[in-house]
């Protein structure tokens, strides 16, 4: 359905994308997961014709994005990271504006606006000015505006950042419904819980490159470790970290803690405590974490998803 091949993009001194490639199948819910500045918005902006790449290519529903952008656009709905609505207009008027941009006829549009407002629980507020809406309600209208022309593919760039739990849950319910109905969804997030909850497949992005990709189970099996032993210390110094690094093959420092990766927790835990004692490291807290996207990301990049 979508093929992204070797995209590169530079902004002045920043190489935002560095040869990123991935394919998305029809009906798939694909999440791009990565920290701030990883290149998620740049990727999705190129895929939705908002930005031009320096190199590489994208095909959408069989059309080449550079040769046939209009055909591509017909197939996609785009929910940008920044909310784009007119505060002085009502929800209805905003949707009328966006729908006409997507080329939906006026008669059809009125029906679609009512349908999408109902879908997002805002039909009662249809004629209220958007400036009276909460952030979460604005976000819902923002998503609604991308659906009016019944696209086959929906691009969403971090649609749940900074909104209330009620709106977030409603957005999740709508996404689940659209996914069940067969829509292809491309979703960016830096919340691993969201990527874990919905995705058929997840692409992990960092420094403008895809560093791993697969179903959650595939990603889990990619990493050799099974669990993380997260140990916090009172007196962790650079030199003590260096010493313990020589004793453990796979580990990462996170401030005053060290994440030790283990495939045999029963055996490793006692060995680890012994080594810490021998080095004079004072332990204040130990937590054993099952492998999840956060630990996979840390293991692959040495960085935390949330900084
Ligand atoms: N218009 C621009 N001008 C200069 N640099 C830019 C521009 N847009 C993005 N960048 C840089 O490109 C890199 C990738 O940015 P991008 O917005 O794609 O990241 P992101 O993964 O969406 O991050 P976030 O989670 O913060 O939204 C960053 O280093 C960013 O500072
Ligand atoms: Mg972004």
Tell me the domains of the chain and their CATH numbers: 2-220 (3.40.50.300), 224-290 (3.30.70.980)
Which residues surround ligand 1 with Cβ inside 6 Å? 11-12, 14, 16, 34, 36-42, 81, 190
Ligand 2 mean position, distance from CA 246 (Å)? 37
What is the model's pTM? Answer: 0.85
Q: Is the pLDDT of residue 141 over 70?
A: yes
Segment 79-133, tens digit of pLDDT: 998 888 999 999 999 999 999 888 889 999 999 999 999 999 999 999 999 999 9
Q: What is the DSSP string of 5-33?
A: EEEEEEETTEEEEEEEEEEE-TT-EEEEE
Q: Which ligand is nearest to the CA of 37?
A: 1
C-alpha count within 13 angstroms, C-beta hemisphere, residue 294: 14
Q: Which ligand is nearest to the CA of 80?
A: 2
Tokens found for residue 271: 């060995």
Closest CA to 241 of 294, 302, 306, 296: 302
C-alpha count within 13 angstroms, C-beta hemisphere, residue 279: 23
Segment 216-242, tens digit of pLDDT: 988 888 766 678 899 999 999 999 999
Q: Which ligand is nearest to the CA of 40?
A: 1
Residue 226: predicted pLDDT: 75
What is the residue with the minimal CA distance to atom 4 of ligand 1? 11
Residue 224: predicted pLDDT: 64
Q: Is the pLDDT of residue 3 over 70?
A: yes
Tokens found for residue 198: 């919905």
Which atom of ligand 1 lies closest to the CA of 44? 18
């Amino acid at each position: 359905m979508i093929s992204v091949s070797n995209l590169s993009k530079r902004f002045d001194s920043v190489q935002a994308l560095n040869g990123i490639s991935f394919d998305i199948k029809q009906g798939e819910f694909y999440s791009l997961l990565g920290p701030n500045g990883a290149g998620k918005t740049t990727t999705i902006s190129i895929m939705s014709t908002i930005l031009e790449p320096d190199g590489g290519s994208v095909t959408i529903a069989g059309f080449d994005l550079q040769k046939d952008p209009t055909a591509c656009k017909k197939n996609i709905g785009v929910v940008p990271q920044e909310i784009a609505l007119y505060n002085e207009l009502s929800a209805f008027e905003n949707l009328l504006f966006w729908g006409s941009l997507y080329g939906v006829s006026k008669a059809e549009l009125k029906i679609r606006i009512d349908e999408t407002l109902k879908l997002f629980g805002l039909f009662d507020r249809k004629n209220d000015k958007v400036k009276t809406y909460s952030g979460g309600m604005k976000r819902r209208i923002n998503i609604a505006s991308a659906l009016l022309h019944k696209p086959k593919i929906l691009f969403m760039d971090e649609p749940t950042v900074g909104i209330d739990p009620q709106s977030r849950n409603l957005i999740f319910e709508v996404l689940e419904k659209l996914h069940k109905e067969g829509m292809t969804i491309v979703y960016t997030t830096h919340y691993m819980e969201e990527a874990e909850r919905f995705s058929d497949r997840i692409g992990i992005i960092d420094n403008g490159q895809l560093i791993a990709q697969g179903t959650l189970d595939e990603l889990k099996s990619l990493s050799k470790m099974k669990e993380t032993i997260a140990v916090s210390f009172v007196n962790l110094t650079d030199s003590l970290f260096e010493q313990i690094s020589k004793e453990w093959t796979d580990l990462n420092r996170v401030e005053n803690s060290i994440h030790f990766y283990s495939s045999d927790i029963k055996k490793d835990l006692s060995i680890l405590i012994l080594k810490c004692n021998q080095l004079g490291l004072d332990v204040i807290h130990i937590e054993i974490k099952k492998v999840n996207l956060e630990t996979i990301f840390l293991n692959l990049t040495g960085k935390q998803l949330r900084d």
